[in-house]
Amino acid sequence: MSNSPAEQWMQVRPEGLYCAPADIYIDPIEPVTRAIITHGHADHARSGHGEVFATPETIDIMRTRYYLGDETRENGLKYGQRFDLGNGVTLWFASAGHILGSAQAVIEFEGTRVVAAGDYKRHPDPTCAPFEVIPCDVFITEATFALPVFQHPPLETEVEKLLRSLRTLPNRTHIVGVYALGKCQRVMKTLRLAGYEAPFYIHGALKRLTELYESYGQDFGAWELVSDIPRADKHLFQGKIVLCPPAQINDRWSRRFADPLPTVASGWMQIRARARQKRAEMALVVSDHADWGDLIRTCEETKAGDIWITHGRVEALEYALKQRGMQAKALNLIGRDESVE
């Protein structure tokens, strides 16, 4: 068993993954003095830290979601920009392909390079920079969709399902449940690239993050807030796409639409029971995470001597990597919510 020297200085603590010589945590679940934040999703970016290192986009997202108070000192680092954390530890970020601003944290100390990938995906996404393979000694990977059943289809085919339904059922209001950060914008952009031209009608909870993406040059075409349309105009939405958080596709909010067709866009939609649980009539498989094949391929491509696995289907991935001759172990980190994509 070869153990990397990083075992000595990268530790698992109750607050999260800890780099001892720099006294800094990666995506800690409790407020800490110094934190590296890989991306803006709620289970990775928490409030109350003394000092935060993240990409400028992630800092903006954290500010938009009120995760940054007066107590927090912000350090925005662009992809590839190196920062001396002290005691001989260097930090830089590489793109993770997960959402806008998402990053892998690259940490170098005494000639050893550790890459903590955070959440990542390899499928193309027109709303963020693509994943970059960084050769390293230790690669720390997620395992959210680490079962062979998970093979995410190209988003274009899922979007085509939605467009076909709009043509076949022009009287139905297609209400698509999407997470506000990342998924919403990726689905809108992919629909535009597929030729959908009508305005999007969106729930208020999706507004600020969509505007933030636009401030980074993303163009989603015309969109309007549902709340700005008079209630009497409910037929306006027929044959159109309405976007809202997943919880709203079937609640009181959705009753304002004529003949609604509830749809969920999520990586979990490959599991039929989950789609039924959400009472969705249509399910689109849309994931911001690497699927089974891409998790294994990525671990191989980093050429890392050690793979550490943080959250998700940890045992399945550990077993598969070992079978392929890789050195792998589970880190038993707590506090990651697998259903928050």
d(CA 278, CA 247): 8
Q: Cα 180 to the chain's mean position, in Å?
A: 11
8 Å CB contact between 25 and 52: no
Taking the C-alpha atoms of residue 209 and residue 75, their distance in angstroms, rounded to an integer, is: 21
Closest approach of Zn ion to the CB of residue 108, in Å: 24
Least separation in angstroms between residue 186's CB and Zn ion is 13
* Residue 119 lies near Zn ion (rule: CB under 5 A): yes
* Contact window for Zn ion (CB under 5 A) among 23-31, 35-43, 143-151, 211-219: 35-43
Q: Give the nearest distance from C-beta 121 to Zn ion in angstroms.
A: 10
* Nearer Cβ to Zn ion (39/113): 39
The Cα 340–Cα 231 span in angstroms is 32
Task: State residue 309 phi and psi, 5-degree precision.
Answer: -115, 125
- Mark the segment that binds Zn ion (CB under 5 A) among 37-45, 81-89, 216-224, 233-241: 37-45
Window of 36-44, 133-141, 243-251, 261-269 that interacts with Zn ion by CB under 5 A: 36-44
- Is 57 near Zn ion (CB under 5 A)? no
For the chain, the three-class secondary structure string (H helix, E strand, C coil) is: CCCCCHHHHEEEECCEEEEHHHCEEECCCCCCCEEECCCCCCCCCCCCCCEEEECHHHHHHHHHCCCCCCCCEEEECCECCCEEEECCEEEEEEECCCCCCCEEEEEEECCEEEEECCCCCCCCCCCCCCCCCCCCCEEEEEECCCCCCCCCCCHHHHHHHHHHHHHHCCCCEEEEECCCCCHHHHHHHHHHHCCCCCCEEECHHHHHHHHHHHHCCCCCCCEEEHHHCCHHHHHHHCCCEEEECHHHCCCHHHHHCCCEEEEEEEHHHHCHHHHHHCCCCEEEECCCCCCHHHHHHHHHHCCCCEEEEEEECHHHHHHHHHHCCCCEEECCCCCCCCCCC
Burial (0-12, 13-18, 19+ Cβ within 10 Å), 324: exposed
Residue 337 CB, nearest distance to Zn ion (Å)? 10
Q: How far is the CB of 288 from Zn ion (least distance, A)?
A: 6
Give min distance, CB of 197 to Zn ion, in A.
30
State the minimum distance, in angstroms, from the CB of residue 8 to Zn ion: 29
User: Smaller CB distance to Zn ion: residue 65 or 172?
Assistant: 65
Nearer to Zn ion, 57 or 119 (CB): 119
Residue 49 binding Zn ion, by CB under 5 A: no
Closest separation in Å from C-beta 44 to Zn ion = 6
Window 196-255: residues binding Zn ion (CB under 5 A): none
The smaller minimum CB distance to Zn ion, of residues 113 and 121, is found at 121
User: Which residue's CB is nearer to Zn ion, number 174 or number 183?
Assistant: 183
Q: How far is the CB of 27 from Zn ion (least distance, A)?
A: 10
Closer of 108 and 119 to Zn ion (Cβ)? 119
Query: Which listed range, 47-55, 118-126, 133-141, 240-248, lies at the site for Zn ion (CB under 5 A)?
Result: 118-126
Q: Is 311 in the site for Zn ion (CB under 5 A)?
A: no
Site for Zn ion in 72-111 (CB under 5 A): none
Q: Is 121 in the site for Zn ion (CB under 5 A)?
A: no
Output 119 or 137, the one with its CB closest to Zn ion. Answer: 119
The single residue among 35, 36, 37, 41 that binds Zn ion, judged by CB under 5 A, is 41
Size of the site for Zn ion (CB under 5 A): 2
Could you list the residues that contact Zn ion (CB under 5 A)?
41, 119
